Structure 1
């Protein structure tokens, strides 16, 4: 290894190996496994292959694992019988084994709790008779409702389902929870004016559109111990609306994030497609950087880390070349954000974190979706 390469490896190890703290939870380093839907859990039950999948990545140096999205206990929450659920005796027993394996390997883990809302189509499993529900019964891009606008009873049931799942996570040994408020799913459908046309207290200006999310956060916070971390994932972009924005200015973003922080969010996971893109004119800060600046809460960045291609291309069966980490390390060094979530690179190579932390950059490979044959 040349002196320059050795210096780069040492710098990466020094910056990424620092512990981070989220509401009393010490994450052993700055690397997070991003949530990635896998559909390897028949009947919503994570089996031993799922235990191994997460355990291997914890053993290879990932500090914090955010699981794939898991459906909360509401009939309309999902659209697949192979996506894991976070309710039910067998499902929770499987997740308890996952948490145990991750802890045995020295990692920390939180489940991502998920309700897809109007993304669901009528007749889909795991509960085919359940209707598609959302703030206004609108799917992204629709002008007329094709689902049901949620009633007060619906809102209460969904809020309760998130709280019950969070309590279960603490009970079976997880280290915290992440609430999925991004990418055009149910919570995000309330946050975004494009899908929230309500005229009651849950619609209107950005603060009113945040009310449902804040009530979920408050219910979760009440259902778990004070030092049990609650992470909130959000995004500007949506499925099929990549140019959508919750906020056009830092002031608008602050209006959305402030009620969530006040309700009990301990850290924000700011989802972008490319982490290096500035979020607002006049500043180099990305979305996670602005989140940390505006709330004072720890922030997780994500978006094509270690690669030079957008993850959307992976859905089209396209790979991505390796990208450098220098800019990422610069941003971490100046505390723009606190942790870094990695998706595709960790999906392909369970030892990615170990290689990066050890400076073994020559062993990293471009992302090749054709190599992903099985859960590994």
Structure 2
């Protein structure tokens, strides 16, 4: 057995409703004609049969009530001015208008229908029923039909609105998920670049030194090999830490901050790049409290700047300046001089700029800024200014 789609079920349901209303209208029309034939009156029998034929034709027109609701209702209301048998079909058409059309159109056709019924019963009053009772019955019947149709319309509009909201919510959820994935990838790319770039640059410098200085003493070779081994081991540790942060619950594993900057500088100094730290307010030794997010951004700034200095100016002295005041700002600057590179050592390849872009993004995220450029002495300077709440 095949599955039936929602549209197919709705189509079958609509056909069933149309058939039910058609049968009801035909049955009521036949009963009305039969009642008229059994009542004594001035109307000849052939007129009643003609009225029945008109009523059945009106019932047949109900099959087009969904396609032409207003035109069909207006036509049947006009027929009701002289045909009693068309009244049931006219009420069904009025119900359809209440379901599918606006309130203004519905009320207009309702008033027209009441006027048509009034004209009919004005010329052919119902024997034994006072006029005021007939008016009450007509108004009550029309009100019930119109209210039922408008209730159905309101329910359909509510269902359609809920479906639209669900669809919009689904699209928004998908966009949020895609945006979160994009942000997560950007964050991961920055972390991997900052963490591994620092270690790998040390490996590159010392491996290059071993390759170009083949006349180095055994002690120098052993020291360079030890630096390579140590930084390769630390690179693996850093990679495990990054993966651990990704896998662990939020906030479980600590991230580097200002307290780790001195270790970073000592490590760079031991690797052969002389670094001087000028910390005016003892920020790196815990003399001033720095927010965690700002401190982590400052650490990544120093790390990336030292990596770039070591890569593009190997052996050049580097100065790291950190200063500022709480409730004002915290600024950091890393400046390297012209490298004393021997002529036989090839220049480092041009960078992709990802590191500086990543630093600029980090600074922007915490409300700061980044600037960089060459110095007058031929070196390179990178500065970052961050907010420092009290």
* Structure in which a larger fraction of residues adopt helix: 2
What is the TM-score of this pair, normalised by structure 1?
0.20
What is the TM-score of this pair, normalised by structure 2?
0.19
* Structure in which a larger fraction of residues adopt strand: 1
Higher Cα Rg, which structure: 2
